[in-house]
Amino acid sequence: MAATTTLTFALAGVCLGTVSGLVPGLHVNALALLLAAAAPTLPAPPAAVGAAVLAAGVVHTFLDVVPALVLGVPDAATAVGSLPGHRLVLAGRGREALRLSAVGSGVAVAGAVPLALPLSHLVAAGRAELYAALPAVLALVVVLLVAAEPTRRRRLGGVVCFGLAAGLGLLTLGVPTDGSLAPSAATSMLAPLFAGLFGAPVLVDALGGRGAIPPQEGARTALSPVATLRAAASGVGGGALVGYLPGVSAGVATVLALGGAGGESRLADGSSGDGGRTDRLYVVATSGADTATAVFAAAALVVVGDERSGVAVALSAVGGGGSPFGSVTALATVVFAAGVGCVLVPTVGDRYLAVVRRLPHRALSVAVLALLWVLAGVFAGVPGLCVFALAALVGLVPPRLGVRRVHLMGVLIGPVALG
């Protein structure tokens, strides 16, 4: 009976993760915290509610690529500086990108599950040393990110963008939130910060495009199985970095794991210069890192007791300050949710892409911008609206300087490194 209840709640979590993944700006952390707040009123044990939270978090990492790929896509005239996934959509390879993402996430789960518990025990043994060295480790991450830019001018631009984002984080992360439409447990300044830094600027830049999303051709992937597996494996390594190192994102980890490859465009025509191979590798590795992070964060909570993500915070709340279940239930839930996610990405993603193609390009960008603005107010109140606007201005800087947007993760790395 208990297993049936847990499975039922895991299925409900899959539905929540699907919704949060497909709605731009609605992060699964918010839904997870809402579910945690409602846990005492639900007719189920903490382990079942925890399974719903964890399943939602895993499925979200599969499906959040769908709106990321198809919303805010520029046209050919404004393609310079576009994201790797956007370039694939512009080339008519959106369906392929969806499948590459699903494979990256699926392979990452297969790689992360057997590593998660041993690695968590290893981190637990060296926890004090890791935290003592954290500022130096984060400084090294920043140096490597800046060094990955190909020219001296762009490296300087990376430093400028990192400094702006770090200053924004120091200025705003401590601002009290008053999201009157959301429970206090779900309010967070991170939602407007990230929506402003990484979501709004892409949409604003897309407003200048006049063309529609081109027809999307076949779904066959152009990467060899070996290259795909290597990219997904790099995503697992990146996910481990994110799962145990505060302030680092999947995008940061992917650039480092790929040896500085990937990210924004290098050429004036908006192409990656290698037939899109680097863009494909980046999609696989980023998706893998995003999903692997969810696995490692769950393991970190079970073994170490560290809350490395919003989902982990929600799980801890459900469990009364710790994990609501043991490692076997946690990993089984991850595998189940990942299996469903692999199926949902191409089936739902293809339909999502087909619908978006038929919608007015500029009106859609405006509508999504408005949604991000509303969600910022819902989860952080009036201060969140102000922070969203300020973050959006900062988010417009990297493409103007010709550098990667990952430098904007200084919004977290800077404050964390400074304590």
pLDDT at res. 172? 92
Q: Which residue type, as a one-letter code, is found at position 153? A: R
pLDDT 10s digits, 219-243: 888 888 899 999 999 889 888 888 8
Q: What is the pLDDT of residues 136-176, one digit of tens each?
A: 999 999 999 999 898 999 999 999 999 999 999 999 988 87
d(CA 90, CA 375): 28
What pLDDT is stored for residue 242 in this prediction?
Answer: 82
- What's the CA dihedral at 65, 298, 325, 105 to 10 degrees? 40
Angle at 337 between CA 331 and CA 343, to 5 degrees: 140
Q: Which two tokens stand for residue 20?
A: 């949060």
- Nearest C-alpha neighbor of 202 from the set 398, 23, 5: 398
Q: Which residue has the tokens 């996910």?
A: 239
Residues of the chain with pLDDT under 50: 76-81, 265-271
- Report CA-CA distances (Å) from 276 to 38, 85, 88, 105, 341: 46, 10, 7, 20, 25
DSSP string, 242-271: HHHSTT--HHHHHHHHTTT--SS--STTS-
Residue-level pLDDT at 185:
54
pLDDT reported for residue 56 = 93
Q: Which two structure tokens, joined as six digits, stand for 293?
A: 């992070």
pLDDT value of residue 150 = 87
Burial 81-95 (b: 16+ CB within 10 A, else e): bbbbbbbbbbbebbb
CA 327 from centre of chain: 24
